[in-house]
Amino acid sequence: MEIAEFIDALDRDGRLLADAAEQAGPDAQVPTCPDWRVRDLLAHIGMVHRWATRNVSERLTEFAPPRTGQEPGDADLTPWFRDGHRALVKALTEADPQVPYFTLLPAPSPLAFWARRQAHETAIHRVDAESALGKDLSPVGPALAADGLDELLAGFHSQDRSQVRTEEPRTLRLRATDAEVVWTVRLSDGVPRAEADDAGDADCELSGSVEELYLTLWNRLPLAGLRATGDPALAELWRERSAL
């Protein structure tokens, strides 16, 4: 996906998130994040958006922690989120793609990293807001879902902090039924190794639409929604240890 496409996705999902949160109300429970109410969700994503805006606008070259505790009271929380979301979309739209600054994962450019990361951050939390409202989830486009699997598997879970590990080598395969998307995740007592192929045998295979895989691997949909073959313990391992 191109940077402009990520920004468009961020813009769309941020608006949907705000609309759902406003309708649900700040005290509504978020089923996909059982410890959160909608106020916690808005405080979190509003903080993250402002943190991303600061990195892009100020061109920070070293990690600067997000500024927490700045959210207003319940009555002003959704407008506060909308303001931060609009500021992030504007900052990304106007940013110079050639300027270097801090990122968390390798990317073609810092701007490409932040546009991609915030598009997925917002898409996942939009699902949280809609789950709090109890409405049908707005769709995730197949291109964004496929890219999100790449970011999750080849990005975040290729880092030392990933806890998805096994005592003995095991292989988990993920196969989209509506797109040419297949991932093989080789697990061991070290960092998981994910490759976009279906080479070799797998101990467990999970299949579903690319959107279902994306949301399930981000623990927003139940594993039962995917078709599983082989050892179900590997799927449960992901559920238990993949939180970031």
pLDDT averages per 10-residue partition of the chain, 244 residues? 98 98 98 97 98 97 94 97 98 95 95 98 98 95 98 96 95 97 97 95 97 97 95 93 90
Residue 119 confidence (pLDDT): 98
**Among candidate residues 223, 224, 166, 220, the one with its CA nearest the CA of residue 31:** 220
For the chain, give every residue range classified as CATH 3.30.1050.10. 162-241
Residue 79 confidence (pLDDT): 98
Residue 116 confidence (pLDDT): 98
**Using CA atoms, how far apart are residues 217 and 158, in angstroms rounded to an integer?**
15
pTM, whole model, 2 decimals? 0.96
Residue 135 confidence (pLDDT): 84
Residue 171, SS3 per DSSP: strand
Give me the CATH code for the 3-133 domain, please: 1.20.120
Residue 82 confidence (pLDDT): 98
pLDDT digits (tens, 9 = 90+) for 134-151: 989 999 999 999 999 999
Report residue 59 as tokens.
Answer: 């061109």
- Alpha carbon 167 to chain centroid distance? 27
Residue 95 confidence (pLDDT): 97
CATH superfamily for 162-241 is SCP2 sterol-binding domain (3.30.1050.10)
Rounded (5°) CA angle 200-216-40: 145
**Phi and psi torsions of 196, nearest 5°:** -85, 70
For the chain, give every residue range classified as CATH 1.20.120. 3-133
| C-beta of residue 239 within 8 angstroms of C-beta of residue 204 | no
Question: Which residues are CB-contacts of 69 (< 8 A; sequence separation ≥ 6)?
Answer: none
**Among candidate residues 238, 190, 196, the one with its CA nearest the CA of residue 217:** 238
